[in-house]
């Protein structure tokens, strides 16, 4: 935390609303990005981000200066998003409006056309949404927010070992869900990067998921 930010935090804790406003301006984009990736809806993400800052302001007396202010905010946002996800009776995430699923595909080499890319994305469309929020959160923070294990642990009030365990289980569950939906797909080969364009399409899709999430280890 830089000196200016520390000044704002100290002033905000003394009741300076203008100082807290500066903190909101500094973190509104990162917090929105996180809530959007977690919830998959821009409208709901905006509401969740606003609620995050309202909760942060009301709990400033609980903030521990030993923790990075950004980590504390992420923690509040994470818990609020988890609450929202758990209250959903049915969760559906559209590939056209979800950067999580888009990013899962965009970082990989693709052997076929853009149409096949969409098929691969659609094959994974509901997988992340089916994960328990306790597993979805560290997955998003690790792969799309690119936080370290230590930062995730601090945000979620977990040990680093617990974070790694949840990530491992999340990736196992994603692969199990995918294989359940595609029972005819051939198992991914550790050294395979591309499958044959026609006959090997389902093998390619399974291999894409395998490579992206690194299911063989952390």
- In a structure prediction context, what are the per-residue pLDDT tens digits for the chain, which is 218 residues long? 688 888 999 999 999 999 999 999 999 998 998 888 788 788 999 999 999 999 999 999 999 988 889 899 999 999 999 888 877 754 444 444 444 444 444 444 444 455 555 555 455 546 777 788 888 888 878 887 788 899 899 988 899 999 999 999 999 988 888 777 765 545 554 444 434 343 444 444 444 444 455 443 44
Which domains are seen in the chain, by residue range?
A: 3-87 (1.10.1740.10), 95-213 (1.10.10.10)
Size (the chain), residues? 218
Structure tokens at 93: 């995430």
pLDDT at 200: 45
Short-list 123, 114, 101, 94, CA closest to 203: 123
Provide φ and ψ at 60, rounded to 5°: -55, -30
User: Are the beta carbons of 155 and 80 closer than 8 angstroms?
Assistant: no
Provide φ and ψ at 188, rounded to 5°: -70, 140
pLDDT at 85: 82
pLDDT at 110: 45
pLDDT at 126: 62
Place of tokens 């950067």: 99
CB-facing half-sphere around the CA of 59: CA atoms within 13 A: 15
Task: Report CA-CA distances (Å) from 85 to 13, 115, 129, 157.
Answer: 30, 31, 9, 19
Q: Is the whole model's pTM more than 0.75, yes or no? A: no
Short-list 25, 28, 26, CA closest to 51: 28
pLDDT at 213: 53
Q: Say what the alpha-carbon torsion angle 204, 106, 37, 205 is, to the nearest 10 degrees.
A: -10
Place of tokens 């469309």: 125
Query: 170-217: per-residue pLDDT in tens?
Result: 999 888 887 777 655 455 544 444 343 434 444 444 444 444 554 434
């Amino acid at each position: 935390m830089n000196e200016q930010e520390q000044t704002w935090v100290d002033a905000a804790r003394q009741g300076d609303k203008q100082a807290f406003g500066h903190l909101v301006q500094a973190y509104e984009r990162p917090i929105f990005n996180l809530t959007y990736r977690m919830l998959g809806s821009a409208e709901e993400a905006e509401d969740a981000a606003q609620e995050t800052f309202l909760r942060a302001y009301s709990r400033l007396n609980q903030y521990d200066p030993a923790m990075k202010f950004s980590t504390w905010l992420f923690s509040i946002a994470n818990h609020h998003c988890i609450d929202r996800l758990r209250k959903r009776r049915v969760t559906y995430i559209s590939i056209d409006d979800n950067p999580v699923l888009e990013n899962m595909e965009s970082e990989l080499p693709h052997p076929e056309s853009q149409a096949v890319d969409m098929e691969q994305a659609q094959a994974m469309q509901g997988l992340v949404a089916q994960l328990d929020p306790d597993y979805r959160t560290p997955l998003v923070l690790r792969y799309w927010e690119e936080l370290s294990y230590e930062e995730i642990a601090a945000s979620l009030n977990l040990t680093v070992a617990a974070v790694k365990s949840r990530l491992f289980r999340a990736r196992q569950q994603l692969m199990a869900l995918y294989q359940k939906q595609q029972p005819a797909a051939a198992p991914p080969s550790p050294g395979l990067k591309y499958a044959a364009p026609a006959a090997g399409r389902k093998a390619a899709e399974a291999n894409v998921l395998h490579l992206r999430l690194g299911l063989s280890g952390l």
